[in-house]
Structure 1
Amino acid sequence: MKHEEESTRADRVGQVQITFTNKQLTAWGGACSVVAKFLERIRFREWVLEHMPVEERSPNAKGVYEKVLALLLTSLTGGTRFSHVTWWSHGMGGLKACFGVVWLPQATSVLTRFFGKFRQRHNEALRTAAVGLAGTLIEAEKITQDTLILDSTVCERYGVQEGARKGYNPKKPGRPSHHPLKAGLGSGYVVNLWNRRGDTHTAHQCVTFYDQTCRELPRGLRIGWILADSGFGEEGFLEHLEGEKQRYVIALRLTAYVLSAIRGISGWKLLEKGLEVAEVTVALSTWKKARRLIVIRQHVPTRPKASGKQPMLFRELEEHREYRYSVLVTHETTLSPEEIWRTYRPRAHEENCIKELKEGYGWHEFNVHSFWGTEAAMLLIGMVCYNLVHHLNRQVLKTAEEGVARLKTLRLKVLAIPAIYGSGGRRPTLRLGVQDRGLRAKIHYWLHRIHRLDLRLFNCNAVALPVTAKV
């Protein structure tokens, strides 16, 4: 009796008894309502079944769509690796019913085996489909002119993965990594992704990457400017853009030849306090002709958060030691140096996009031993999942004028809403645990806006769908 009394007291918090329930409870009621409604409205299941290149022929195979959906749910709920597939598995009955499936993976090996089947030919088909999806979303917003932004990043790897090599890695030198390329638009959509070996030079195959990106963009979309980081400032790429008469602004590395050109500048134009700009026309050692350089320098004592770099060579020169420098190259001659600099400034949004992919979606950490399997996961998260959430955010959850919230914010305010799944009035019912009337009104508003979306990723009834879950 004494043991039973102690056990009963131990299962209390103050005067509150701790017990258990078999009801279908989930912490992701917002995902089950808003995201599930959005995917149903745009017919995402049919799009996956039509475009997913890997076929499962085993009689025991459960389904491709369910595995793609599991990856997206893992990313949306904060997972950063395949083993986090169990994070959202509580209340599985409600998840299955809302997303219209009869089964969802609950083991890491289900997803890793699936992505281990991808090969290069599969990824080419998947990339084409993902670019087509991005084009559909862009056309739905009636975007006819935009800026193409090219960038590269480093994804550190732990363990043994194909293509993981020691290369350029400023944060963790010597750590094996992959070195992907990314193309995005000023409107925020990702329109191309390549995974590459970690020891690959940034400019390697950049012309091919650019040509593929432009070739697969929507026909009605006109690119006004090409903005790129310093990895694209190579002679071959600049010549290619100039041959196509495409306007560009690209950052340059502060090499010895660039620093020599900066030291030769005598006249600086003051734009703001502590911010100056100048220009010089020079032919660098690796260039066949002279090009226009725009040099921006910021006075560090005046602007402590100044961007740019402070070269070691300049730290001993009194005239330059207190400044941070950035250098841009362009062949545009009609705009002033200030206008060129302001044209390039939106490229900072691409850095924020990569940061969001890594910190919000865990894009860089989903990997398997297979190089192509890792790239397939990067394509699904970095293009399909990211673009869908970006479109949902711009068109439903927040307007473009209000700005776009990060996924971490959406996860806390929209996706992570506790809910109970059961029946009410002989109908399957998801009861969201929301007491605030304002939030209830917002959720009703979001669902009605999704219902009115004029967006279909798939317009054919040729694909047979599995039977949905029943209560």
Structure 2
Amino acid sequence: MKPSKVSKSSSHVRNRTRTVKMTSTAHGLTSQAGLIPVVKYLDRIGFEKTVKQSVPHRRGENADHHLSDVVLLTLVGMMGGATSMAKVTTVWADSVLRKVAGWIKIPVETTILRIFKEVSDRQISQFETLTHTLRGQHWRRLLRSGKSKTGIQSVQWVDVDSTVDTVCGRQEGSAKGFNPKKKGARSYHPQLAFLAETKEILQAWFRTGNAFTSNGVVEFTKQLLAHLPNRMRIIFRGDSGYFVGDLLEFLDTRGHGYLIKVKLKNLNALLAKQAWTAIQGRPGWEQSEFQYRCGGWSRSRQFVAVRIKQPKGDGKK
């Protein structure tokens, strides 16, 4: 596929394309055709303009490229499979992709890295806000088009989890911590929140590798809720690493729900005391619901447990 017409402007870095028609011919083929809809979508929603408004960043008068440029280039490059800045520039080496996006001059790897190094802590926070701004705009467009009512639904399930990202060498911010795939290796331990309905990543915090699963989860949740519609009630869902009294207390006071796997030292003894009932239609399965107050809690909370009868062993260890 190749563009049959590209509009021209006086810029020596960008051609602001208005209309690009695609034709299938034997010449000018591209391996990056899958990124063309991405580029056109980002242009249609005014992505670069939103970046400039949300994350102000000044460069010299003679600078060819700006922060909004390298953010766009990196985003599209990552969608094209790039795992480094060098590979981002490789993706954009495709002449057809550049013409469709209106780029005349692509910055080299060192320029991209230099611009990103100019980003301040304040601007990093602004980038976090930017992701929420873009998501809100997207939800409103879907609502107006009648394609989705995600943004106005009163209840949404939110899955929160952490992941381990192993690094090579002594990368800044990395540390030795829980690493099931490569024990003893340095890593990062980011925390993420997903919208269960759409699989969107609602929020992500970058953390060092020795951070415990629930480190900062209350502040993480506060920030998440601050950027979700006020009328939306969430059901926080997480594994046992998030069985933390402060988090449960916070969600209770804000009127939100939660479904979190329990982690207690005396759990087996506690379950042995409960009344169990058979689960209809599930032979061998039983369930129990009860109230319990852990030490340090201000009140008791509801616990739900299930168990299955295991077949007797054959005497082998």
Q: Which TM-score band (shorter chain)?
A: 0.7 to 0.9
Amino acid across the alignment from 1:130: T
SS where residue 293 of structure 1 aligns? strand
Q: Give the corresponding residue for 2:41.
A: 38
- The answer for the alignment partner of 1:230 in structure 2 is 240
1:223 and 1:115 mapped to 2: Cα distance? 36
Is the CA contact 1:191–1:217 (under 8 Å) kept in the aligned structure 2?
no
Counterpart of 1:88 in structure 2: which amino acid?
A: V
Taking the aligned partners of 1:35 and 1:104, their CA distance within structure 2 comes to 18
| Amino acid corresponding to residue 183 of structure 2 in structure 1 | P
Report if aligned partners of 1:229, 1:251 keep a CA contact under 8 Å in 2.
Answer: yes
Taking the TM superposition and a 5 Å limit, the aligned residue runs for 1:151-166 are 151-166=161-176
SS of residue in 1 equivalent to 2:104: coil
Quick one: which of 265, 277, 281 aligns to 1:256? 265
Name the count of aligned residue pairs. 276
What does the per-residue CA deviation read over 1:128-158, in whole Å, with 9 as the maximum and x for residues that have no partner? 1111111111223332122233222222222
The unaligned stretches of length 5 or more in structure 2 are 1-26, 144-149
Q: Cα deviation per residue 1:180-236 (whole Å; 9 max; x = unaligned)?
A: 2222323323222211122122222211111111112134x5124222332221111
Residue type at the aligned position of 1:111? I
1:42 to partner: Cα distance: 1.2
Query: Judging changes above 3 Å, is the alpha-carbon distance between structure 1 residues 89 and 148 closer, same or farther for their aligned structure 2 residues?
Result: closer
Deviation at 1:98, TM superposition (A): 0.9
Aligned position for 1:116 = 117
- Determine the structure 2 residue equivalent to 1:134: 135
Query: Per-residue deviation at 1:268?
Result: 4.1
What TM-score do you get using the length of structure 2 for normalisation? 0.76
Alpha-carbon offset, residue 63 of structure 1: 2.8
For 1:35-434, list aligned pairs within 5 A: 35-57=38-60, 59-92=62-95, 94-105=96-107, 107-142=108-143, 143=150, 144-145=152-153, 146-188=156-198, 189-219=200-230, 221-253=231-263, 255-271=264-280, 272-273=282-283, 275-285=285-295, 287-297=297-307
Structure 2 vs 1, CA of residues 89 and 247 (structure 1 numbering), >3 Å: closer, same or farther?
Answer: closer
Cα deviation for residue 90 of structure 1 reads 4.4
What are structure 1's unaligned runs of at least 5 residues? 1-22, 302-317, 320-471
Contact 1:276 1:298 in 2 (8 A): yes
How far is 1:274 from its partner? 5.7
- TM-score when normalising by structure 1: 0.53
Residue type of the partner of 1:191? L
Secondary structure at the aligned position of 2:279 is classed as strand
Whole-Å separation in 1 of the counterparts to 2:308 and 2:183: 28
Change (3 A) 1:274 1:76: farther
1:141 maps to amino acid: L
Letter in 2 for 1:102: I
- Work out the CA distance in 1 between the residues paired with 2:106 and 2:50: 18
**Which structure is richer in relative contact order (CA contacts within 8 A, separation 6 or more)?**
1
Q: CA separation in 2, counterparts of 1:214 and 1:109? A: 37
Q: Secondary structure at the match of 1:218?
A: coil
Query: Could you say if the C-alpha distance between residues 60 and 236 of structure 1 is closer, same or farther in structure 2, counting changes exceeding 3 Å?
Result: same
How far off its partner does 1:269 sit?
A: 2.6
CA RMSD of aligned residues (A): 2.7
Change (3 A) 1:244 1:65: closer
CA displacement, residues 50-90 of structure 1 (integer Å, 9 cap, x when unaligned): 22344333734423333122212221112223332244244
The Cα of 1:283 is off from its aligned counterpart by 3.1
Equivalent-residue separation in structure 2 for 1:175 and 1:78 (angstroms): 25
Q: CA 1:122 to 1:234, structure 2 compared with 1: closer, same or farther past 3 Å? A: same
Distance 2:285 2:82 in 1: 42
Q: Residue type matched to 2:224 in 1?
A: T
Identity of aligned residues (%): 26
CA contact (8 A) 1:149 1:185 kept: yes
